[in-house]
Chain A
Amino acid sequence: MAETNQRTVYGQTLVELCHKNKDIVVLDADLGASTMGKMVESDPEISEQHIEMGIAEANMISTAGGLARAGKIPFCSSFAVFAGGRAFDQIRQSIAIGKLNVKICGSSAGCSDFGDGATHQSVDDIAYMRVIPNMNVFVPADANETEAVVRYMAENEGPMYIRVNRNPYDNVTPEGAKFVPGEPVVLKEGTDVAVFACGVMVTKALEAAKALEGKISVKVVNVPSIKPLNRESVVKIANSVKGVVTAEEHSVIGGLGGAIAEALRLEKKPIEFVGVQDRFGASAHNYNDILEYLGLTTDSIIKAVEEISSKA
């Protein structure tokens, strides 16, 4: 069976890419054992391509900007709350304005670091990365897609953010599929309601569609590229159904829901958001508990689909 953990695949893919391209460097802020940057560090042939920056995320991001100016392709990894949140100004000022070729990995994103609680759970990173001009924001649905996105990031110029889950779960996208930035991907056809989902919520959207079979025909759309996002594609999909639901492991403010609503602003389609309701996360003993606590469940999607279906 293919690897099912996104951060493992992130590390494995970087190891492979580092072997092929000596200009790729992988920066960590003392969390390499979690981000899997340690896989690069512990491979003797490429260990020099791993740069330990210590517990200093702001300096890590700006230093990566300098490395990019010197022709390197830096991948900076930390927990999403630190990689994106703590270093927001550095990403904006040092990286994005100058369109520097820096890749940022928000690891253990969403609530996937369930035990550590609110301080370590990113319910807002899609929003604050998405709003920065020049920044690309990618949220792979699973481990397979993570590999495709990381390859794309290494091979293409510009500042890019990838959001990576900490926990393993079964792949829902095919192994080896090409990642096309901007394009939503229909995973399951349907005619009544389209569920646009990203990250772990793609899995739950597929489960919801299955549970509703025979009652409501649900189209499941994976959105790995939150930005860029091809508006025409979103509109076309939305106009093939009667209503739309978005589902994300993120605040309902400013994330995938926001992006889809922006794209559909002239379409007069009913939309419902499934996501975190303007609150922080909390510690939990396991991943499912925190997802349920925040309403990030298959049932929430089913309810939202039923509601939209009844309105449409």
Chain B
Amino acid sequence: MAYSEELIQSLKEKGQLLRRDCIKCIGVGVAGHVGGSCSSADLVAALYFHKMKVDPKNPDWEERDYFLLSKGHVAILQYAALAEKGFFPLEDLPRCKEIGFYLQGHPHLGIPGIEAGTGSLGQGLSLGSGIALGLKLDKKPNRVYVLVGDGETDEGQIWEAAMSSSAKKLGNLCAIIDNNGLQATGAIKDRLPNEPIADKWRAFGWNVIEVDGHNMEEILTALDDAELYTDRPTAIVAHTVKGKGISFAENQAGYHNRALTQEEYDLAMEELA
């Protein structure tokens, strides 16, 4: 399917907007998940600003699609998308992690638009699988999207969920793997290597689509193609760059969760403009 230049351009801009929101929220001198937020930003932009049916005025709308952030540590990215959509005020973003405030450091049920509490890696796909199974039992057409970190696929439960979701023929479930190759302390290949990641999902009975996770046209095509497979779930393996858009943070595991200096902050905001 062809997408208009206008749509592609506007979604790219949304991706950059979400990155700027994240950096603004992280600010100076306090650790925040810079790297993984920037690698996932285009994927999240494509979902919230184009693909998914959601209603900010009615977060529990029965016809909505579901998005679960299994890599819950980049909560700020999802909060930014929800705030930009109007689920809650943009001014609330910088107050994330404030004591007693509703925006916690990881997605928490009760926040408008959050579908599941995540943070203990490996559980979000099972939760999404359960929602998809419930929708299927009720013969509802809603779709479920789960964003999974590539490092997170070292968790055994991901593969339990992968087996289970294909066994239950959950065509309404789409996992998106943010494949940036890095985790908190370095390269995945030097820790518990997970490659060949696409082959693994295929072997578990999933429809697999590989994309450049920063190429909006490829992302949109994959999200649309996923719907053609009604008898099995789809895994979109999105090849991404950790810290995408911020020169000094790109492909640097050190910026997984780190405080920015004023100089770094200014440069990041300039580059993301």
Contact = CB atoms under 8 A, between A and B. Distances in A.
Which of B117, B119, B126, B138 counts the most A-chain CB atoms under 10 A from its CB? Answer: B126
Given A56-B164, A59-B126, A97 B137 contact: no
B167 interface: yes
A98 B135 CA distance: 20
Interface stretch (B9-17, B108-116, B232-240): B108-116
Interface stretch (B77-85, B155-163, B211-219, B255-263): B155-163
Interface in B160-186: 160-161, 163-164, 167
A133 interface: no
Contacts of A68: 130
Which of A48, A62, A65 counts the most B-chain CB atoms under 10 A from its CB? Answer: A62
B134 interface: yes
A90 interface: yes
B109 A72 contact: no
Interface in B24-50: none
A74 B164 CA distance: 16
B175 to A, nearest CB: 13
Given A66-B134, A69-B127, A59 B164 contact: yes
Interface string B102-138: 0000001110000111111001001111111111011
Interface in A69-96: 69-72, 74, 89-90, 92-94
A89 B126 contact: no
B137 A48 contact: yes
Nearest to A96: B117
A62 B126 contact: yes
Given A97-B109, A98-B109, A69 B116 contact: yes
B167 A63 contact: no
Contacts of A93: 117-120, 123
A41 to B, nearest CB: 15
B111 to A, nearest CB: 11
Contact of A63 (B108, B133, B137, B156): B133
Given A25-B137, A97-B117, A65 B130 contact: yes
Contacts of A53: 164
Contacts of A220: none
B137 A62 contact: no
A66 B131 contact: yes
B135 A63 contact: no
Size class of the A contact interface (CB-based, 8 Å) = 20 to 34
Interface residues of B, number: 30
Contacts of B133: 51, 63, 66-67, 70
Nearest to A100: B109
B126 A58 contact: yes
Contact of B161 (A63, A72, A97): A63
A64 interface: yes
Nearest to A58: B157
Interface string A127-148: 0000000000000000000000
Nearest to A66: B130
Given A48-B137, A70-B134, A65 B127 contact: yes
B123 A69 contact: no
A100 B131 CA distance: 12
B160 A70 contact: no
Contacts of B160: 56, 58-59
B138 A70 contact: yes
A71 B134 CA distance: 7
A70 B129 CA distance: 11
Contacts of A69: 66, 115-116, 127, 130-131, 134
A241 B118 CA distance: 48
A61 B138 CA distance: 20
B131 to A, nearest CB: 4
A63 B109 contact: no
Given A56-B164, A58-B157, A94 B134 contact: no
Contacts of A90: 120, 123, 126, 157
B204 to A, nearest CB: 13
Contact of A72 (B120, B137, B163, B164): B137
Nearest to A90: B123
Contacts of B123: 58, 62, 89-90, 93-94
A66 B144 CA distance: 11
Contacts of B116: 65-66, 69, 94, 98
Interface of B: 66, 108-110, 115-120, 123, 126-135, 137-138, 156-157, 160-161, 163-164, 167
Of all A-B residue pairs in the complex, the 9 with the closest CB atoms, nearest first, are: A66-B130, A70-B134, A62-B126, A59-B160, A98-B109, A63-B130, A93-B120, A56-B160, A66-B131
5 contacts: A54-B164, A59-B164, A66-B133, A69-B131, A70-B133
Given A65-B126, A66-B134, A70-B135, 12 more contacts: A53-B164, A54-B164, A65-B127, A66-B116, A66-B131, A66-B133, A69-B66, A69-B134, A93-B119, A93-B120, A94-B126, A98-B108
